[in-house]
Amino acid sequence: MKAYSRPLMTYTAIIILVMIVLGLILAQLTRGYFINVFEDRIKNESEFFVAIINNSENSSDMNIQLKEFTEKVDTAVVVFDEGGEADTNTIRTLDSFSDQEYENTFENAQALYANKSDGRLINETFYYPVPVESGTMIMISPVKTLENVTRHIWLLIGLTFALGLILIFLVVYNVMEKYVKPIRSAANVASELAKGNYRARTYDGYFGEAGKLNQSINVLARNLQQITTEQGMQENRLEAVINNMGSGLLLIDEKGYIHLVNRAFLDSFGGNSKDYIGALYYEAIPYKSVHETVKDIFMLEETVRDTFVFPVKIQRKHMEVTGAPIFNESMKWKGIVLVFHDITELKRLEQTRKDFVANVSHELKTPITSIRGFSETLLDGAMKDQELLEQFLTIILKESGRLQSLIKDLLELSKIEKTDFQLTVSAIDISHLLQELMPIIRQNAAEKEITVDMETVGPVMIDGDAGRLKQVFMNLLTNAVNYTPSNGNVDVKVTEGEEDIRVSIADTGYGIPEEDIPRIFERFYRVDKARSRNTGGTGLGLAIVKHIIEAHSGTIEVESNVGEGTIFHVILKKELT
């Protein structure tokens, strides 16, 4: 209904104004017309009054005749002589006049005579002067019908106004329903569509041109909603594809401004999208290799592929970048797209493979060379010397054992690193497991007069592979004894937490330099190669230890100071998930 109030109020105000003006005009016209008619009647009546006055021989007869005639025509007369005196008897011919009305009427008649005025309407009473032989006669006639006529005119105007309002209301309502309402509804829907609300709809039940307009608006809204939905789905798919790409993506326009980066790019180069979007590529990316690649693409206008290395904190990342120019259908230059492939892992694996081959070759070369050399020496005649024969055969046996141990560790490491490697999990008392290893370790330690102590908190149960965990702790304890000088100490401590346990193996050995700690779990890596070979190590023990602990979802930590000793912390969960 609010939609109708403004035009209805406007039309109502216009109708009221028109009716008031029309009423005033009609009232004045009717009043003037009525006065003119009344004045003509008075003129005609005045002829009879003049004849009576002029033809009467005495005043008593005149008054009688005047009274009879005035009663018939409902009119009074006052005769003023030439001296201005009035015959007061004549004024009382109207019985309807009260004393007060008489005095007022007489005073008005005197004023009219004194001013020599023409006929005039005063207080609904008409005064009309007529000259007679004896002076001036003023006819006085009440105009009671004029008030009734005016009242009837305003009543007619009021009825007309009421009918007009009803008619205007019906017309406005009809116009609103057929034309204004559908147009406003269409305008509201168009406004909602402009705001992006493509679910807005208008009523389709209108007729004529307004109905066609609303139908067209609804069709447009449905099409926009469908297009927006499809576009949103496509954008979501595209965004999902771009953000979940394993390679970094960078889009640069023809002026060098960055328009798009994906999640993989941010993971590789750091920062967030606000640091790149809208910035010039050479300001946002501080690597000259990328700048050169972009320049090559701009100059050559063809696909360019390159590799570069850049530092990320304490590491170095290897990147392969492929860039291609972007042209529209009219072959107009629009920019370039760069795809960054992180090949750090490939490089690392390649380097690991090379190192592995080199290390294996080197580790195998030493015992094989020794075995071959001493065998050739024996064949050349040294076997006849019993002392040399026994010495050389001992060395050949030692080197073959070392070779066998190396091959065994390689096979063990290869087995552990396989994807189908599985643990034989059972409930284990870790304190009892360590106690089983103590006799072997103490026997080896006794040869170097090393004290081995163990501190436990009673039975500590965990889920794990007993055989593999024995392999872990045997390796760590053996290393602790081997790398601790005589008269040293090796301490084993078991600490139980709420969800995990910690086994700490501390020695008073040579220690590990800080820069070598991150690499001690690499294959064949030795802090002191000469000492490692003297102890019979293959360089694969700690690599095997790390893989077994990770298979148990655990971690291993190292604390070491050169010349003071080393502590290995093995942290294992009580329950494997």
How does pLDDT run across 400-432, given as a tens digit for each residue? Answer: 777 776 677 667 666 666 656 677 788 888 888
Q: Find, among 272, 231, 275, 282, the residue nearest to 252 by Cα.
A: 282
Q: Which residue has the higher pLDDT, 315 or 225?
A: 225
Per-residue model confidence (pLDDT) at position 313: 59
User: 88 — phi, psi (to 5°)?
Assistant: -70, -15
Residue 569 has a pLDDT of: 92
- The residue ranking higher by pLDDT, 294 or 376, is 294
Q: How far apart are CA 222 and CA 513, in angstroms?
A: 72
What is the dotted CATH code of the domain comprising 348-416?
1.10.287.130
Most confident of 190-199, 238-247, 286-295: 286-295
Strand pairing partners for 454?
A: 492
Distance CA 93, CA 71 (A): 7
Spatial separation of the C-alpha atoms in residues 143 and 145, rounded to whole Å: 6
Residue of higher predicted confidence among 477 and 60: 477
pLDDT of residue 268: 81
CA distances from 55 to 85, 312, 516 (A): 20, 141, 159
129 compared with 101, residue with greater pLDDT: 129
450-479 CB burial, b ≥16 within 10 A, e <16: bebebebeeebebbbbbebbebbbbbbbbb
In the DSSP assignment, the letter for residue 391 is H
Q: What is the pLDDT of residue 146?
A: 59
Residue 23: pLDDT above 80?
Answer: no
pLDDT at 62 over 60: yes
**What amino acid is encoded at 22 in this protein?**
L
Task: Tell me how far apart the alpha carbons of residues 533 and 406 are, in angstroms, rounded to a whole number.
Answer: 12
Q: What is the pTM of this model?
A: 0.43
Q: What pLDDT score does 491 carry?
A: 92
Q: How far is CA 149 from the centre of its chain?
A: 74
SS3 labels along 417-453: CCCCCCCCCEEEEHHHHHHHHHHHHHHHHHHCCCEEE
Residue 126 sits at φ, ψ, to 5 deg, of: -100, 125
How far is it, in rounded angstroms, from Cα 410 to Cα 360?
9
The superfamily in CATH containing domain 426-573 is Histidine kinase-like ATPase, C-terminal domain (3.30.565.10)
Please determine whether the domains at 246-342 and 348-416 fall in the same fold group of CATH.
no
Q: What is the pLDDT of residues 99-120, one digit of tens each?
A: 555 566 777 777 777 667 666 6
Q: Which pLDDT belongs to residue 282? A: 87
Instruction: With H, G, I as helix, E, B as strand and everything else as coil, classify residue 393.
Output: helix
Range name among 102-106, 184-188, 529-533 with the lowest pLDDT average: 529-533
User: Which of 161-165, 377-381, 453-457 is the most confident on average?
Assistant: 453-457
Chain segment 459-486, per-residue pLDDT in tens = 888 888 888 888 888 888 988 888 888 8
Contact 503, 430 (CB under 8 A): yes
Token pair in block for residue 32: 């003037």
Site of tokens 């401590």 = 493
How far is 469 from 572, CA to CA, in rounded Å?
Answer: 10
User: How large is the average pLDDT for residues 193-205?
Assistant: 74
pLDDT tops 50 at residue 1: no
* Tokens matching residue 510: 């040579």
Rounded CA separation 11/7 (Å): 6
Instruction: Quickly tell me which residue has 């005609």 as its tokens.
Output: 44
pLDDT of residue 72: 64
Q: Which two tokens stand for residue 338?
A: 């760069």
Domain range annotation of the chain: 246-342, 348-416, 426-573
The winner for highest mean pLDDT among 35-39, 531-535, 564-568 is 564-568
In which band, very low, low, confident or very high, does the pLDDT at 149 lie, cut at 50, 70 and 90? low
Mean pLDDT of the chain: 77
Q: How confident is the model at residue 316 (pLDDT cuts 50, 70, 90)?
A: confident
Which among 417, 430, 422 has a CA at the least distance from the CA of 547?
417
Give me the CATH code for the 246-342 domain, please.
3.30.450.20
CA within 13 Å, CB half, 574? 10
Q: Which residues contact 377 (CB under 8 A, 6 or more apart)?
A: 388, 392
Q: Is 462 left (phi over 0), alpha (psi -120 to 50) or beta?
A: beta
Confidence bin at 208 (pLDDT 50/70/90): low
| Residue 56 · residue 62 · CB < 8 Å | yes
Q: Is the pLDDT of residue 524 over 70?
A: no
Per-residue pLDDT band for 444 (boundaries 50, 70, 90) equals: confident
Q: Identify the three-state secondary structure at position 41.
A: helix
Long-range contacts of 371-378 (CB under 8 A, 24+ apart): 371/396, 371/399, 371/400, 371/403
8 A C-beta contact, residue 109 and residue 75: no
pLDDT score of 504:
92
φ/ψ (deg, to 5) at 145: -70, -20
Residue 513: CB atoms within 10 A of its CB come to 12
What the block records as the tokens of 43 is 């003129």
Question: Which residue carries 């402009």 as its tokens?
Answer: 194
Burial per residue of 315-332, b for 16 or more beta-carbon CB atoms within 10 angstroms, e otherwise: eebbbbbbbebeeeeeee
Lowest-confidence region among 32-46, 186-200, 409-423, 496-510: 409-423
CA-angle at 37, arms to 35 and 41, nearest 5°: 110
CB count within 10 Å of CB 149 equals 15
